[in-house]
Amino acid sequence: MRYKGLIEKYRDRLPVSDSTSIISLGEGNTPLIKLENIPKELGKEVDLYVKYEGLNPTGSFKDRGMTMAVTKAVEGGSEAIICASTGNTSAAAAAYAARAGIKAFVVIPEGKIALGKLAQAMIHGSIIIQIKGNFDDGMQIVKEISDHAPVTIVNSINPFRLQGQKTAAFEIIEELGSAPDYHCLPVGNAGNITAHWMGYTEYHEIGKSDSTPTMLGYQAEGAAPFIKGSRVDNPETIATAIRIGNPQSWDQALKLSKESNGWFDAFADKEILAAQKMLTEKEGVFCEPASATSVAGAMRDIKLGKIPEGSSVVCTLTGHGLKDPDSAIAQCDQSAMINVNPTLEEVKKAILDQM
């Protein structure tokens, strides 16, 4: 049967009725790729997978939540949605609003969103409100705005967002036959880690999984409120998607971390970029910097033995590498580019010199 998106697939586990008109772009059903070369390099026996959420329609996991949020907004008669965003939510909001024929307003931190995400918000025709502030400032305004303007918030504080995002855990359980032992995620607002835990516990309760995973949340050192134990006022990281100092799902994330015997940890920008490069060069998988934080975490904790050998581990790659071409190009060696004249001789020489 033709795949029609995650609401259609998981209709019985989502807050929709038979009469709900679904706004979908065919999101979900993303590949779970088993890593071959990184575990070998680590010299450890682990089953390490990446859930490649960058292959959703707008290139990030946000589409899972946005199909639900926009479907419910339209069902409720809303004609406009709004979000604050570090980029991916704005791209998804813009696309799903276009599909639904409603307006999207996106509040973004000026100069701090990756090029691909900005292109998406613009080309889909959303109304972009740039602020001279960060994501947390934008979020604060967006939380207050619905008292002043007829707009539906589609940030992850909208409960329908997490309902949609929990389906990633369903897919993983269906593919592996049960939950993995560990699930690693990059954490910004902590909406996605909360949604995954919802999905895992829900499937466990109805007998579709024998167990629930230990949940591991990884942040960038310059934007690591969960490691600091309190809000960070001026978050800074190259992983702009998770440049967040005041997570909206703070309580839920602390609770699930405890319930699952999990932990939080943080990584320097250069470690995050090294993990991104390792995934592209050793496994052929290109994700954006924020996403690579999950793999940086998994690699360190496997090396340290905090994740023991024999474990199954899933890392969520939250967004596609093409979202942020600037950071990709900037970290590559420009001198590796060989410039030649357009002759057979020079191209041949360029090849043979490398062999």
Work out whether 89 is an interface residue with ligand F0G (CB under 6 A).
yes
Query: With contact defined as beta carbons under 8 Å apart, do 225 and 232 qualify?
Result: yes
Cβ at position 267, least distance to ligand F0G in Å: 13
* Cβ neighbours around 79 below 10 Å, total: 14
Work out whether 192 is an interface residue with ligand F0G (CB under 6 A).
yes
Work out whether 290 is an interface residue with ligand F0G (CB under 6 A).
yes
Interacting residue with ligand F0G among 58, 86, 167, 212 (CB under 6 A) = 86
Cβ at position 133, least distance to ligand F0G in Å: 14
Interacting residue with ligand F0G among 56, 126, 167, 189 (CB under 6 A) = 189
Cβ at position 291, least distance to ligand F0G in Å: 5
Kindly identify the residues of this chain, within the stretch 8-47, that bind ligand F0G according to CB under 6 A. none
* Total length of the chain: 355
3-state secondary structure string across the chain = CCCCCHHHHCHHHCCCCCCCCCCCCCCCCCCEEECCHHHHHHCCCCEEEEEEHHHCCCCECHHHHHHHHHHHHHHCCCCEEEEECCCHHHHHHHHHHHHHCCEEEEEEECCCCCHHHHHHHHHCCCEEEEECCCHHHHHHHHHHHCCCCCCEECCCCCHHHHHHHCHHHHHHHHHHCCCCCEEEEECCCCHHHHHHHHHHHHHHHCCCCCCCCEEEEEEECCECHHHHCCCCCCCCCCCHHHCCCCCCCHHHHHHHHHHCCCEEEEECHHHHHHHHHHHHHHHCCCECHHHHHHHHHHHHHHHCCCCCCCCEEEEEECEEHHHCHHHHHHCCCHHHCCCCCCCHHHHHHHHHHHC
Work out whether 158 is an interface residue with ligand F0G (CB under 6 A).
no
Cβ at position 316, least distance to ligand F0G in Å: 8
What is the x/- site pattern for ligand F0G, positions 205-244, by CB under 6 A? ------------------------------------xx--
Work out whether 156 is an interface residue with ligand F0G (CB under 6 A).
yes
Work out whether 301 is an interface residue with ligand F0G (CB under 6 A).
no
Region binding ligand F0G by CB under 6 A among candidate stretches 85-93, 171-179, 202-210, 278-286: 85-93
Distance (Å, whole) CA 46 – CA 25: 35
Region binding ligand F0G by CB under 6 A among candidate stretches 142-150, 261-269, 286-294, 338-346: 286-294
Query: Residue with structure tokens 């835990």?
Result: 197
End-to-end Cα distance, the chain: 48
Region binding ligand F0G by CB under 6 A among candidate stretches 69-77, 83-91, 255-263, 343-351: 83-91
For residue 40, give both structure tokens. Answer: 């070998």
Of 189 and 327, which CB lies nearer to ligand F0G in the complex structure? 189
Cβ at position 333, least distance to ligand F0G in Å: 25
Region binding ligand F0G by CB under 6 A among candidate stretches 145-153, 184-192, 268-276, 336-344: 184-192
Cβ at position 101, least distance to ligand F0G in Å: 23
Work out whether 186 is an interface residue with ligand F0G (CB under 6 A).
yes
Interacting residue with ligand F0G among 5, 57, 188, 213 (CB under 6 A) = 188
Cβ at position 106, least distance to ligand F0G in Å: 9
Of 78 and 85, which CB lies nearer to ligand F0G in the complex structure? 85
Interacting residue with ligand F0G among 291, 311, 312, 327 (CB under 6 A) = 291
Binding site for ligand F0G (CB under 6 A): 60, 62, 85-89, 156, 186-192, 241-242, 288, 290-291, 318-319
